Structure 1
Amino acid sequence: MTARDSSDNTTIGSTKLVPDVNFDVGFEKVAEPNSTQIKIIIVGAGFAGLACAIECKRKGHEVVVLEKFSEMKILGDIISFGNNAGRIFQRWGLHETFWPICTHHQELNLHNAQGELICVQKLPSVQFGAYSYNGHRGELHERLFAFAKSLGVDIRLGQDVSEYWEDEEVGEAGVISNGELLRADIVVGADGVRSKARSLVLGYDDKPKSSGYAIYRAWFDTHEQGVDRDPLTDYLVKNGDAFYGWIGKDVHFLASSSKNGRALSWVITHKDEADIKESWSFPGKMEDVLAVVDGWDPRCAAILSKAPSCIDWKLVYRDPLPTWISKEARLALIGDAAHPFLPTSIQGASQAVEDGVTLAVVLQLGGKSDVPLALRAWEKIRYQRVRRAQITGETTRDMWHNADPGARGAAVELPRPEWLLGFDAELHAYEVFDGIVREIREKGYELPRLPPREE
């Protein structure tokens, strides 16, 4: 099976996919339903789990999604999908569904703590042949969930997955959910940072640690909170959507309006060494929030104080896992269960989408008889790219938090490299699969290696 990307269409094998330049076409399946006879259980209906389920449906796999919540609610605040994930959503025909509810700012206006404008960075909506999508996490999730359901994805809510298992002798894996034993060819743990699946993959319970930072974050209606009536804040909404930021020692603060200025979200990252053994998300106290920007540009306090409430979110950290797949390669971790990202990477959700899409492709190529080999190839395809993307979150945070007071322009710009945003996870998987499988067969499976700077 070959992959070809041309200016007017994209072909995989004999199947023509939706061209990236046509955003209005509907979903096109790549294989007939259940044609591979591969059965997949996905635990978690977040962005990682839903993206994996949707692409598995495209690739002809049979998929069941188990979600612990009994109903899906519109929760959270801002989430960002880079162009690399955007091209996948466009291929699924979701542009017209997502675009009306997204943020439509075109630049980041970045200031130092004294309020001096130090950078105006252009942020085009379309770059590297694809859109980016930034909007309310709950609203975008609601639409992706509805899309998965419309395709016939079997999503079961209110599921308590208490146990994971695999048995290579019979070539199966499965879970116990609500006391019921469920069997499949592969189980995908898309159950987030508190993943239960992680312990089976690693053979031990991996404990998170504090990253040394936390975020206060909020999302609210601008008119209700008077953002449009205060000269210290009205510039965020009076000309549509806007994106403003301030950086200082060990702190950065970002504020972004959405829906033509009708909604505002802000996040402020600061030093925090709190113990996160039990929980890492709490209601925030506004006096603590304002203390972070004491002595800063007065616009910062004005924006922050408009929020009726906020969340205090401790940023947890995990050392890179030595592997994302179980011993018998019948269980895989994707998204936050495998690799939590710092928000400054602006890639956590996008890499979760790439995980699911790539997994669906390699299972299609490997076939039912070679599921473990396909899973090992998937890990090899994904591991170094994901870690390289994770590192951008650390370097961007450090760049802003340690910026020289005189830093200007490119010295403080958000990195937007083509290797990251111009990537097509689906086509890449088709292109490299055969070579990676050949290498595994010749040399045997080895644990993935970290990028060179960390070895």
Structure 2
Amino acid sequence: MKVIIIGAGLGGLTAASAFAKSGHEVQVLERSPKLNPTGGGISIRPSASKVIQSWGFQSTLEQICDRSPSVTYRELNTGEIRTTVVDAPEHADWGSTRRAFVKLLQYQAAQAGAQIRFGANVVKVFDDETKATVTLEGGEELVCDILIAADGIKSHTRRAVLSDLGPPEKWDPIIDQTTFYSFDMAVSELTVDPRSMKLTENSNITTWKGEGGFVVTRYSSKFGRIGLLFAIQGETDQKSLWDEKGDIEFVRRFFKDACSDMVKALGIAKSCDRWRVAEVPDLPRWSSKAGRIVLLGDAAHAMHPNAAQGYSTIIEDIGVLQLLLSAGSTASVPQVVNAWQAICKPRAERVKAFSRWNTKHLSGKTEHAIGVSHADSVLEKVVPDKNADFSSLEFWKWNADYDAIGEAKKYLAETNSTPSKL
């Protein structure tokens, strides 16, 4: 099957690697002249690590990732641990830097046979019952069986595929009143001062809950670096979703009463990126009307980053689509795409709602706290419940330890289908 992917970000390169390894003919179109990944650290949550294991990519990813068995919540002003939520041991959380992930995925995709074209600017997409067509700047046309748009939160493809459902701005990102300031620094700069030792105690995702703002940190022992995201609620002078000119002095003033770990880190910081938190509204569908153009990742369900599930839900989406497009399938692409959305869309939208809730929770805007009554909240024996309160361990278990491939197989069994008989 011919697969064209728009965008060589995390989602596009992951899809390219997975589909090429499955034997599909894959071409990635990237409008930039080269890869230049920006942003903070990346997490692969237990739900996504199950998919990674099914691909056989685990040993490769472990070369650049730290594994952590839990998520830690601390008080921002004191540094005191509020609770630690312990994941199931067989599917631990992995984390690394965005740059390392993109570099590895590019290599993996190329090794699997995917072609990556840089400077390929897509100006038009179209599909019908038999094929999808991409027109590049300059007039070149490319034809494929399925077109996957991984062109991000400001996706141009999203507007095109939903053009029959109302004005295009209806599906534009919803911008939140929260701004992230991203810092990355060598651990050697911090550990000389005992006031910052909490930042390197372990490789857990650590969230520091405050009032009107919060911090998320993660230590990478593989690269000897610490990533810090400082979140501030309220208006700023920023005009776009992303820029590279964060005001360090503003961040220092806002967090001047935070614990010594944060004050120390901000004191040695030299520069930071910043971006406004945003999400894509729940879409009526993730595909074109004809069903051969699909939206992947942030193009379909960009969410607040505060569930650490943005990339993980992309991996889940790819794993399910790969299963449904498995070798030997005689189902049409539109049939496969319909089943894929039925499986993945409700999951992503529920996680997105939780991420939005957690933005408020971490800034002190909600009544309940995750695991507040559990000094050490172990998930292993908790029964998952997607409809439970967001502050409950039952929901946390469903969020973190979901089995996307298992749910896809369950869907096929319940509909009396196979990938070849959708």
Match of 2:311? 349
Match of 2:133? 174
Change (3 A) 1:405 1:298: farther
**1:12-411 counterparts in 2 under 5 A?**
38-73=1-36, 75-105=38-68, 108-115=71-78, 117-123=80-86, 127=88, 129-168=90-129, 171-179=130-138, 180-203=140-163, 204-205=168-169, 206-223=171-188, 226-237=189-200, 241=203, 244-259=206-221, 262-274=224-236, 278-364=240-326, 367=329, 370-402=332-364, 410=372
Match of 1:417? 396
Which one is further off, 260-269 or 340-349? 260-269
Which one is further off, 82-91 or 256-265? 256-265
Change (3 A) 1:381 1:142: same
**Residues 83-129 of structure 1, C-alpha deviations (whole Å, 9 max, x = no match):** 121122223333332224323555555333430614241545xx263
Gaps in structure 2 of 5+ consecutive residues = 378-390, 418-422
SS of equivalent residue, structure 1 residue 76: coil
One-letter code aligned to 2:132: A
User: What is the deviation of 1:70?
Assistant: 2.4
Match of 2:420? none
**Residues 149-198 of structure 1, C-alpha deviations (whole Å, 9 max, x = no match):** 11112222221111111123xx1111112431001122111111121110
SS of equivalent residue, structure 2 residue 301: coil
Cα separation, 2, equivalents of 1:408 and 1:383: 25
Which one is further off, 206-215 or 105-114? 105-114
Which one is further off, 46-55 or 315-324? 46-55
User: What is the deviation of 1:329?
Assistant: 1.0
Gaps in structure 1 of 5+ consecutive residues = 1-37, 439-455
Which one is further off, 92-101 or 240-249? 240-249
User: What is the deviation of 1:294?
Assistant: 3.0
Cα separation, 2, equivalents of 1:60 and 1:50: 15
Change (3 A) 1:242 1:182: closer
Change (3 A) 1:301 1:116: closer
User: What is the deviation of 1:350?
Assistant: 0.6
Cα separation, 1, equivalents of 2:94 and 2:266: 24
Match of 2:387? none
SS of equivalent residue, structure 2 residue 215: strand
Cα separation, 1, equivalents of 2:24 and 2:175: 39
Identity of aligned residues (%): 27
Cα separation, 1, equivalents of 2:29 and 2:60: 25
User: What is the deviation of 1:69?
Assistant: 2.5
Change (3 A) 1:262 1:69: same
- Whether the 8 Å contact between 2:209 and 2:364 is mirrored in structure 1 is no
- TM, length-normalised to structure 1: 0.78
Cα separation, 2, equivalents of 1:423 and 1:409: 19
One-letter code aligned to 1:158: G
Change (3 A) 1:63 1:431: farther
Match of 1:432? 411
| Higher Cα radius of gyration | 1
One-letter code aligned to 1:189: A
SS of equivalent residue, structure 2 residue 33: coil
Which one is further off, 65-74 or 81-90? 65-74
RMSD between aligned residues: 3.0
- Whether the 8 Å contact between 2:27 and 2:114 is mirrored in structure 1 is yes
One-letter code aligned to 1:87: K
- TM, length-normalised to structure 2: 0.84
Cα separation, 2, equivalents of 1:66 and 1:270: 35
- Whether the 8 Å contact between 2:153 and 2:279 is mirrored in structure 1 is no
One-letter code aligned to 2:102: H
**Residues 367-402 of structure 1, C-alpha deviations (whole Å, 9 max, x = no match):** 466111211111111111111111221222222322
One-letter code aligned to 1:155: I
**Residues 255-274 of structure 1, C-alpha deviations (whole Å, 9 max, x = no match):** 22212682111011121335
Cα separation, 2, equivalents of 1:349 and 1:154: 22
SS of equivalent residue, structure 1 residue 410: coil
- Whether the 8 Å contact between 1:48 and 1:355 is mirrored in structure 2 is no
- Whether the 8 Å contact between 2:22 and 2:327 is mirrored in structure 1 is no
**Residues 225-261 of structure 1, C-alpha deviations (whole Å, 9 max, x = no match):** x311122113434x66466542222211122221268
Alignment coverage as a number of residue pairs: 395
Cα separation, 2, equivalents of 1:406 and 1:325: 37
One-letter code aligned to 1:159: A
SS of equivalent residue, structure 1 residue 233: helix
- Whether the 8 Å contact between 2:203 and 2:219 is mirrored in structure 1 is yes
One-letter code aligned to 1:249: E
Which one is further off, 398-407 or 318-327? 398-407
**Residues 309-337 of structure 1, C-alpha deviations (whole Å, 9 max, x = no match):** 11111112332111111111111101000
One-letter code aligned to 2:116: I
- Whether the 8 Å contact between 1:363 and 1:375 is mirrored in structure 2 is no
- Whether the 8 Å contact between 2:76 and 2:209 is mirrored in structure 1 is yes
Cα separation, 2, equivalents of 1:408 and 1:319: 25
- Whether the 8 Å contact between 2:241 and 2:277 is mirrored in structure 1 is no
Change (3 A) 1:324 1:409: closer
Cα separation, 2, equivalents of 1:163 and 1:398: 39
User: What is the deviation of 1:58?
Assistant: 4.3
